[in-house]
Structure 1
Amino acid sequence: MTGRRTRYAAVTAVALSVLFAAGAVTVASAEREEAPRTPDSASADAGFARDMSVHHQQAVEMSFIVRDRTEDPAVRRLAYDIANTQANQRGMMLGWLDMWGLPKVESGTAPMTWMGMPVTGDAAGKDGALMPGMATRTQLDALREASGKEAEVLYLRLMTAHHKGGVHMAEGCVQKCSVDIERDLAQGMVDAQESEIALMADMLRKRGATA
């Protein structure tokens, strides 16, 4: 009798181990099926990360320029906030491209192709303005040469246009990107930059200027 019980216990243990193993395989397979796919190079996720990184880099550049061209605390504080925020966001987006194993620059592909509206012809790279809202080389040179109130007004105007272009692109990612964390970042950009556009309009009015 003891031998039968021992054999029965052994068979039961083997059967349970098989069932648990099968369950583990099923769960693992389900997790693999539910895991988000890595974006490919032609995806909206990759296109947004690349294009917005370029867009952000110019905002950081303009913000550092104006901090050297004015002593106004409000403008310097805004410039610092924009430079710090957009440099951090740019680092996140470039990090995602690294994680996805994708190039940071896609040669032969026009900016904003992922949005279904590639910037081509005269608008592409015209005097250094690669995308809507971006300042031209001539405008950047003018900012470097200006000082005081003139530099403040020029910066606020250029950054307002820059933000409007950025908001348009970020809204495109909110609609088209598939990675949740990237869509959340894009929506955060929309909210923050629309708020800063309103702030800059008020700052321009205080300086007797408009966007």
Structure 2
Amino acid sequence: MTPAAVRKAGSEERGRTLPVRWVVAGGVVVLALLLAGVVAVASARGEEEPRVPGVDSADAGFARDMAVHHQQAVEMSFIVRDRTDDKDVRRLAYDIANTQANQRGMLLGWLDLWQLPKVAPDGAGPMAWMENEGGHGDHEAGSAAAMPGMASEEELVRLGSLRGEEAEVFYLQLMTDHHQGGVPMAEACASLCAVPAEKRLAAGMVEGQQSELRLMRDMLADRGAKPRT
């Protein structure tokens, strides 16, 4: 092989091996950056992640109680859906059922994540968390009626027996009571709860339900009726 051929072969060899070395080196750099990013994210999450709430905390108590509260709102909305053809009432009922069913799923999901029971411990009953965390309320913890704004079984039966405008008015009155009871509960969590995501959810509930209260007041007025309270 001539000297020129040797030089050409060496050049070709360097041309083949140089990219390989860069690819390997580049891969190491990329891998190092990825690992650094993972460590940074994990560290940040560790710093921001709150402690798991206790079983008698405001976070756990609100999640338990509001899940029950929301379930009844969903139930009443499904009842009225089949008792009227009014588009506005059916739209409101759909919005309430959809929103509160989703929120209920989040609340129950947190309880599962925290490995906490979905019922109050030691028979404490609903709303005890407000007292435990220094909250205030005119309820009697431990009784079914302690949950503010909840409709009675008799009222649910009556709603299911009505049709047309009578069903619309009674639903709007029951849901107004329901929201008026739910808003203070959400306000209490926004103030007392420790988990940021739950505090944000509670604050969003306050805003959303206050808006629906104004809408339901107007809908009742359109039907010549008023809220019961």
Q: 1:130 offset after TM fit, Å?
A: 4.8
TM-score (norm 1): 0.81
Distance 1:170 1:143 in 2: 26
Query: Is residue 134 of structure 1 aligned with residue 150 of structure 2?
Result: yes
Runs of 4+ in 1 over 4 A off after TM superposition: 28-34
* Gaps in structure 1 of 5+ consecutive residues: 1-27
The amino acid that maps onto 1:87 is A
Structure 1 position 36, deviation (Å): 1.3
Distance of aligned partners of 1:35 and 1:67 in 2 relative to their CA distance in 1, 3 Å threshold: closer
Aligned residues between the structures:
182
Structure label with greater radius of gyration: 2
- The structure 2 residue matched to 1:70, chosen from 60, 81, 84, is 84
Which whole-Å CA distance do the structure 2 matches of 1:124 and 1:111 have between them? 7
Give the secondary structure class of the aligned counterpart of 2:51. coil
Task: Supply the AA of the counterpart residue of 1:90.
Answer: R
Q: Provide the C-alpha distance between the structure 2 equivalents of 1:147 and 1:141, rounded to a whole number of angstroms.
A: 12
- What is the aligned counterpart of 2:126 among 94, 98, 111? 111
Write the deviation string for residues 109-129 of structure 1: whole angstroms up to 9, x where unpaired: 1211111157437x922xxx4
Post-superposition Cα deviations, 1:147-205, rounded to whole Å, max 9, x if no partner, equal 00000000000000000101010000011000000000000000000000000000000
Structure 2 residue aligned with 1:22: none
RMSD, aligned CA = 2.1
Counterpart pick for 2:159 among 143, 150, 154 = 143
Tell me the residue number matched to 1:48. 62
Task: Say which SS state the counterpart of residue 186 (structure 1) adopts.
Answer: helix
Question: 1:162 maps to what in 2?
Answer: 178
Unaligned runs of 5+ in 2: 1-41
Letter in 2 for 1:109: A
The sequence identity of aligned pairs, in percent, is 64
TM-score (norm 2): 0.74
